[in-house]
């Protein structure tokens, strides 16, 4: 079951329309790919967890949108993201059309598998 966080709704409400649409699209993708995701608001941005494991976060910055994902998986998919500005765990883009959503979905799915393995190891 998806758990929404009211502070994230307020964050989205304050965004300019183009940014709001992009972040809402990412939010829906996260909710679709990770059915038991927990949405939170940490570090002044929407963050997403599953079983206490961090999956991703996103933020509207001054000049771009940032999507924070697993460091290793961003590196593994670097070839699909080479047209974007990426950092260790950050994918930066100016509009949604630049972002390969299929790659984001693949990274989310792989992150979800890793999170489940981490939970299993803790038990």
Q: Which CATH number fits domain 6-115: 2.40.170.20, 3.90.1150.200, 3.40.50.2300, 3.30.70.3270?
A: 3.90.1150.200
Instruction: Specify the 3-state DSSP secondary structure of 44.
Output: coil
Of the candidates 35, 3, 23, the residue with the CA atom closest to the CA atom of residue 109: 35
Task: Give the integer Cα–Cα distance in Å for 111 and 115.
Answer: 6
The DSSP call for residue 63 is: S
pLDDT tens per residue, the chain (123 residues)?
677 789 999 999 999 999 999 999 999 999 999 988 999 999 999 999 988 889 999 999 999 999 999 999 999 999 999 999 999 999 999 999 999 999 999 999 999 998 888 766 666
Domain boundaries, the chain: 6-115
């Amino acid at each position: 079951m998806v758990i929404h966080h009211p502070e994230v709704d307020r964050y989205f409400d304050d965004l300019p329309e183009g940014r709001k649409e992009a972040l809402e699209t990412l939010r829906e993708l996260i909710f679709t790919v990770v059915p038991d995701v927990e949405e939170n608001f940490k570090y002044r941005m929407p963050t997403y967890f599953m079983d206490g494991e961090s999956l991703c976060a996103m933020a509207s910055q001054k000049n771009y949108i940032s999507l924070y994902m697993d460091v290793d998986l961003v590196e593994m998919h670097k070839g699909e993201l080479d047209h974007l500005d990426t950092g260790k765990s950050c994918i930066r883009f100016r509009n949604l059309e630049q972002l390969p959503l299929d790659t984001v979905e693949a990274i989310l799915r792989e992150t979800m598998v890793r999170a489940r393995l981490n939970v299993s190891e803790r038990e």
